[in-house]
Amino acid sequence: MARMPRWARLALAVVVSVAAFVLPPSVARADGTFDRWGFYVTYDPASRASLSAHIAELDVVVPDYFGMNADAAIAGDDDPAVDAIVRSHDKRLLPMVQNRVSQGNLSPLLNDPSRRQAAVDAIVGITMANGYDGITLDFEGVSPSDRDGLTAYVRALADALHQRGKLLAVAIPAKSGEMSNGWAGAFDDAAIGAAADRVILMAYAYRTGSNPTPGPISPLPWVRSVADYARSRVPANRLVLGIGVWGYDWNRGERAPARALRYAQTAVLVQQNGGQP
């Protein structure tokens, strides 16, 4: 799977009503609707306006507040104004914690029991201090050799949060079958699905701006394939389908990669060129 750069993936999540994560029909709520997850970014002023405008359409909000360093220290900060918007509408708040280091630099944190416990304690600390409903863990770029360490970390974090009545969601890469190497090689989907309350399948970035041939970021046959595999490994009532809504503008006469566009920009481009969405 081609990978979408993290900056671009999150940039499109500012339109929180569109960048939704949807639980499968088997766990739809009694009123016939889905649980809808929206990712909020802190670096774009339009994000707060979008959140305020569309909070009623969401069930869970995941602000990208925090990052974790190699020493288990938490970087970033809470935004009380955003929290207030979410809580005033009685929505669940599960802020994101991302890894600030990757590959070998992340290995000691995952594999050394004392460092792993420090990383668990750090996340539990911010969860309790800010009264969150839980945490969304988005660790990417993990070395496949750290597969057991990542699994142990997810289990320990889930146990610690559950003891305090809090939830854990974990983002996983999309794949059509078991992998022991590459971007998804570190993720034991079945073990993660058994430990976490929700598993977010990142079903996007099949194609990125580096691909020379224009096409969708999430081809439907591929989405079906990765969703079917994830469903075979993760209980359906814990699985969340991640949908990306950015686009690319390819100029096939130039050698530069395609330009990433936000949803609103793609709508303008379609209108200007008489496209049919």
Give the model confidence (pLDDT) of 156-177 as tens digits: 999 999 999 999 999 999 999 9
113 CB neighbour count, 10 Å cutoff? 10
CA distances from 139 to 102, 153, 208 (A): 8, 11, 20
| pTM for this entry | 0.86
pLDDT at 194: 98
Cβ(174)–Cβ(202) below 8 Å: yes
Report for 37-51, 113-127, 199-213: range of highest mean pLDDT = 113-127
Strands 239-242 and 20-22: antiparallel
- CA torsion angle 106 109 152 3 (round to 10): -20
Residue 8 has pLDDT above 70, yes or no: no
Q: Residue 56, exposed/middle/buried by CB under 10 A (0-12, 13-18, 19+)?
A: exposed
pLDDT at 77: 95
pLDDT at 33: 55
The DSSP secondary-structure symbol of 250 reads: -
Residue 34 has pLDDT above 80, yes or no: no
Work out the end-to-end distance of the chain between its first and last CA atoms, rounded to an integer number of angstroms: 25
Name the token pair of 39.
């990712």
pLDDT digits (tens, 9 = 90+) for 238-249: 999 999 888 899
Residue 185 has pLDDT above 80, yes or no: yes
Q: How many residues does the chain have?
A: 277
pLDDT at 25: 39
**Amino acid letter, 235:** P
CA distances from 137 to 97, 123, 228, 258 (A): 5, 10, 22, 29
Which of the two residues, 260 and 126, has the higher pLDDT score? 126
HSE of 18 in the Cβ direction (CA atoms, 13 Å)?
15
The DSSP secondary-structure symbol of 27 reads: G
Residue 38 has pLDDT above 90, yes or no: yes
**Amino acid letter, 257:** P
Residue 49 in 3-state DSSP? Answer: helix
Provide the mean pLDDT of the chain: 87
Helical spans, DSSP H, in the chain = 6-11, 45-54, 80-88, 107-111, 113-130, 147-163, 189-195, 220-233, 263-272
- CA torsion angle 83 84 86 90 (round to 10): 130
Which of the two residues, 138 and 179, has the higher pLDDT score? 138
pLDDT digits (tens, 9 = 90+) for 60-109: 999 999 999 999 999 999 999 999 999 999 999 999 999 999 998 999 99
**What is the pLDDT confidence band of residue 253, given thresholds at 50, 70 and 90?**
confident
